[in-house]
Chains A and B, each alone.
Chain A
Amino acid sequence: MFEVRNLSYKYPRNREMTIRGMNFDIRQGEIFGLLGPSGVGKSTTQKIMVKLLTDFEGSIYYRNRDLKIYDKDYYQEVGVGFEVPVHFSKLTAEENINFFKKLYKNQADTDTLMKRLGIFEDRKKKVSEFSKGMKIRLNFVRAMLNNPVMLFLDEPTIGLDPANARILKNLIKEYREGGGTVLLSTHLMNDVDELCDRVAFMANGKIVETDTPQSLKRKYGESSVEITYVKGDNLQKKSFEMETLSKNNEFFELVRNEKIVSMHSKETTLDDIFIKVTGVESYA
């Protein structure tokens, strides 16, 4: 779907480059996760790919054609959900949707979408009376107005309660099952584990790692067993590598001789990988 090569970008007012040579592909029908700490350039990358920031270096190919060749018909095919939901607050939710639906040749069944997201009842209210979560849900509906073939989502679940985040994630999955392709940027690893077919980690304006969540876990995985036991009056902890556990005498000694309080197996989470490859704590 997309081939991005040596993408670099500097905001006109900044001295430093924000994006410094990114390379990645997005394949048709996948959810591609763009991950990284806040301020690393995820939203900037999305804005470049939806042609709002145009003065970039490097090349971007969409469906084997240079992105620069596309005119406004590009937007007939793609759906965009920005990080900060923007709406016309003086217009009602329904007007916000119906006004802009008219711009498209291909129009989605927005009533069903609104019903599933629980904002159908409030469609006659002005958006200025909406709560933050409702605006975020409306924002998603508006990204889907045209039944896009390619969907850009920038932190779609931030600010949603768990129940609504659940519904939204299901909708994103269904969208993929229906053949859609998604570029999803986020710093929430829960979403990634559940949704993404492949992920790319960003650090310092570059992509430092791309793979499926499973192989990343395997690659960076150091599964271990942590044992807590009583030693005198204190509790003590000790970790053992899972791989070599069957040959580890120290482990057997401990299990045989000490009073064990708990025993946990620890698998590497995407959070651990996030910290490792980007050097920054995520705050999932």
Chain B
Amino acid sequence: MTVLFLKELRSNWRSFRYPAFLLILLFFAILDPLMLKYMNEIISYFATGMEIIMPDPTPEAAFLSYLSDVSQIGIMVLIFMAMGMVAREKENGVTGWLLSKPIGRWQYLAAKLLALYSVIIIGLIACSALAYLYTMSLLGQAALNGSILATICLLVFTIYIATITFTFSTLLKTPLLAGGPTLLLFFLSGIINMLITNSDAANFYPNTLLSLMKPLLESTATAADLTWPMAVTTILILLMILLAGYRFSKMEI
């Protein structure tokens, strides 16, 4: 198990998949606070002669801009990074080879999932801390409680999308076959979220975790508002893992 986990980390690191994802996080952590700080200067530089009244940037807005960039572009990079995690190995025969070693099928999947989750968790927490501190040095301190809660929302949502990618990658034959539906689902769930955002259904919808990031930062929402969307998302994650594992345990490799 440890062997598999380490192999997974090492080969994904060397193939530049994990670094690509981490670099994107780092990019937004550094760029977004900077952009917000100098937004007014930049705009007035290009729009000389016009008088544009912009509110001064708040640290909360800067941190939120980092979080939402990650929740869109970061997650898309994640999907590209993870869509082949099982499908690619099934396609090129690595899965068959590994499973002809003393490695159980659940073990094989678990090692992969753990490696992916650890990179997401460590990467997100580290980059969010960086973005927070960097924002603080440029614009002042954002509300700490809200920032932590909003980061947790993003983290759980990212893991949710990662699990969808993983499940499709396990069930389908090629990386592209797995990536396509995941991306589609990701966009579609974003659209559905906009439609139901003010209804009661939103409480039971994973994307609500993202919608709550702003109110959490602005202290207009509290941890209690997270209970349902968090519970639903966690259950969905577990169900998908079970589905992937069950189907994989019976799969003809």
* B100 with A50: CB separation less than 8 A: yes
- Given that A86-B97, A88-B94 are known contacts, is A72 also in contact with B11, CB under 8 Å in the complex? no
Against B, the Cβ 8 Å flags (1 = close, 0 = not) of A64-75 are 000000011101
Judge if B99 is at the interface, Cβ distance under 8 Å.
yes
Instruction: Work out how many contacts link A and B, with CB atoms closer than 8 A.
Output: 63
B75 nearest CB across to chain A (Å):
25
* Residues of B close to A50: CB separation below 8 A: 100
B7 contacts A99, CB within 8 Å?
yes
Q: Is the beta-carbon distance between A88 and B11 smaller than 8 angstroms?
A: yes
- A103-134 vs B, Cβ < 8 Å mask (1 yes, 0 no): 11000000000000000000000000000000
Interface residues of B in 1-37 (CB under 8 A from A): 3, 6-7, 10-11, 14-15
Q: Which residues of B contact A103 (CB under 8 A)?
A: 3, 101-103
Q: Is the CB of B94 within 8 A of A91?
A: no
Query: From residue A52, how far is it (CB to closest CB) to chain B in Å?
Result: 5
Interface residue? A55 (CB, 8 A): yes
Residues of A within 8 A of B94 (CB): 86, 88
With contacts A99-B6, A102-B3 taken as known, whether A52 is within 8 angstroms of B96 at the C-beta atoms is yes
* A1-28 contact mask (Cβ, 8 Å, vs B): 1 or 0: 0000000000110000000000000000
Instruction: Given A86-B97, A90-B11, A100-B3, answer yes or no on A54-B252 (Cβ-Cβ < 8 Å).
Output: yes
B181 at the interface (CB under 8 A from A): no
Report yes or no: B102 in contact with A75, Cβ–Cβ below 8 A: yes
A82 surroundings in chain B (CB, below 8 A): 93, 96-97, 100
* Given A52-B253, A86-B94, A91-B11, CB of A76 within 8 Å of CB of B102: yes
Separation of A25 and B155 alpha carbons in the complex (Å) = 55
Known: A90-B10, A91-B11. A75 touches B100 (CB 8 A): yes
Q: B215 interface residue, CB < 8 Å from A?
A: no
Q: Is A99's CB under 8 angstroms from B104's CB?
A: no
Bound complex: CA of A91 vs CA of B3, how far in Å? 13
- B residues 84-120 in Cβ contact with A at 8 Å: 92-94, 96-97, 99-104
Contact B10 A104 (CB under 8 A): no
Contact of A80 with B by CB under 8 A? yes
Residues of the B chain whose Cβ atoms lie less than 8 Å from the Cβ of A88: 7, 11, 94
State whether the Cβ of A53 lies closer than 8 Å to any Cβ in chain B. Answer: yes
* Closest B residue, CB atoms, query A55: B252
The docked-state distance in angstroms from the alpha carbon of A71 to that of B107 is: 13
Instruction: Choose from A47, A91, A104 the contact partner of B102 (Cβ within 8 Å).
Output: A104
Nearest-Cβ distance from residue B102 to partner chain A, whole angstroms: 4
Least CB separation from A76: chain B residue? B102
Chain A minimum-CB-distance residue to B104: A72
Residue among B6, B10, B93, B102 having the largest count of chain A Cβ atoms under 10 Å: B102
Among A50, A88, A95, residue most surrounded by chain B Cβ atoms (within 10 Å): A88
Residues in B whose Cβ lies below 8 Å from that of A158: none
Among B7, B15, B104, B252, which residue has its beta carbon within 8 angstroms of that of A12?
Answer: B252
Task: Name the distance in Å between B87's Cβ and chain A's nearest Cβ.
Answer: 15
Cα of A11 to Cα of B10 in the assembled complex, Å: 34
What is the CA–CA distance of A267 and B225 in the complex, to the nearest angstrom?
A: 87
Interface status of A84 (Cβ within 8 A of chain B): yes
**Pair B102/A86 contact, Cβ less than 8 Å:** no
Residues of A within 8 A of B101 (CB): 75, 100, 103
Task: List residues 51-98 of chain B with CB under 8 A from any CB of chain A.
Answer: 92-94, 96-97
Docked complex Cα distance between A88 and B6 (Å): 13
Nearest Cβ in chain B — how far from A150, in angstroms? 12
A141 CB to nearest chain B CB (Å)? 13
Known: A75-B101, A86-B97, A100-B3. A52 touches B252 (CB 8 A): yes
A46 to B3 Cα, complex, angstroms = 26
Q: How many whole Å from A214's CB to the nearest CB in chain B?
A: 33
Complexed CA–CA distance, A82 and B92 (Å): 12
Contact status of A90 and B100, CB under 8 A, knowing A52-B252, A53-B252, A53-B253: no
Q: Which residues from B are CB-within-8-Å of A75? A: 100-103
Q: A73 to B103, alpha carbons, bound, how many Å? A: 9
- Alpha-carbon gap, A103 to B2, bound state (A): 10
Q: For the complex, what is the distance from the CA of A75 to the CA of B105, rounded to whole Å?
A: 13
Bound-state Cα–Cα, A86 to B253, Å:
14
Distance (whole angstroms) from the CB of A119 to the closest CB of chain B: 18
Known contacts A52-B253, A72-B102, A75-B102; is A91 also within 8 Å of B7 by CB? yes
Closest B residue by C-beta to A71 = B104
7 A-B pairs with CB atoms under 8 Å apart are A55-B252, A72-B104, A80-B97, A88-B7, A90-B11, A99-B3, A100-B101
